[in-house]
Amino acid sequence: MTALRRNGTRHRKTISLALAVAAIAVLFSIPIGNFGGAGASAAYYYYNPGGGPATLVLMPAAATNTVGTTHTVTATVTQGGNPIESVIVNFSVTGSVTLGGSCTTDANGMCSFSYSGPALPGADVITAFADLNNNGTRDADEPTATATKAWVLPASTTGHVTGGGQISVAGDDVTFGFNAKSTGGDVKGGCTVVDHDTGTKIKCLDATALVQSGNEATIYGHASQDGGPATTYVIRVVDNGESGRGQDTFSIETGSGYSASGTLTAGNIQVH
């Protein structure tokens, strides 16, 4: 009986040792982090400082959207053809929009950055770098990429909008009058806006686009501000009722930096 117990003990020890060896073999077969190498699964591949240069690609490299919409750029970071996970990509936008932001890559080495476009036509340059060591600044070995963005006017709809009156901005009066008409292909219009506090005077020289939907209308064009060189403008109006006062809204923004908006304290707007 004693011999049988000793044999049974030796048998159990042999099985336990075999299981331990098998577990270690499985553990070392899993590609983890920097040790994944070229054959590592994307879900386990992280940046390897000794594994060659990393690359960064932005898509789309160039794009055109209408003003006032949102643009999204997708970054892809790879090393030796493998997507790199958990890398922070820092973005900087300059041009018609100035801002920054970041995103962190997923298991596919990808992440997205979105921002809102300007109210008026323009262009942006979007630059980015992969912050491989996560120190917040670009080092010489960290890849960069650039994309461009153009913002253009929307296509005109058919429509006709007129109005005149007054709004109050910080207790001061801004008076205005405008009209715009579009057949879909031909747009005509003009405006006059006077800010009685700042003395700003805006004279619309033309209307290049009119977008009308329901009781709302948006007019784009060129204007002279205080007799200076031509700049761009956008006027947005809402016709909330026939009386106008206390209901309709008016706003204007120019490429020179002037803006005013509010509910009518006098006058009326008609979106025909």
DSSP 8-state class, residue 177: E
The model carries a pTM of 0.76
Indicate the fold that domain 36-152 takes in CATH. Answer: Immunoglobulin-like (2.60.40)
Neighbours of 190 (CB within 10 A): 16
Each residue of 96-114: pLDDT tens digit?
A: 999 999 999 999 999 999 9
Residue 111: both structure tokens together: 């992440």
Q: Which amino acid is at 220?
A: Y
Each residue of 184-236: pLDDT tens digit?
A: 779 999 999 999 999 999 999 999 999 999 999 999 999 999 999 999 999 99
d(CA 1, CA 251): 100
Burial environment of residue 63 by CB neighbours within 10 A (0 to 12, 13 to 18, 19 or more): middle
What are the structural domain ranges in the chain? 2-30, 36-152, 158-271
What is the second-level CATH architecture of the domain 158-271?
Beta Barrel (2.40)
- Does the fold of domain 158-271 match that of domain 36-152? no
Question: What residues contact residue 29 under an 8 Å CB cut-off, 6+ apart?
Answer: none
Residue 153: both structure tokens together: 């006017």
Backbone angles phi, psi at 4, to 5 degrees: -65, -40
Residue 106: what pLDDT? 96
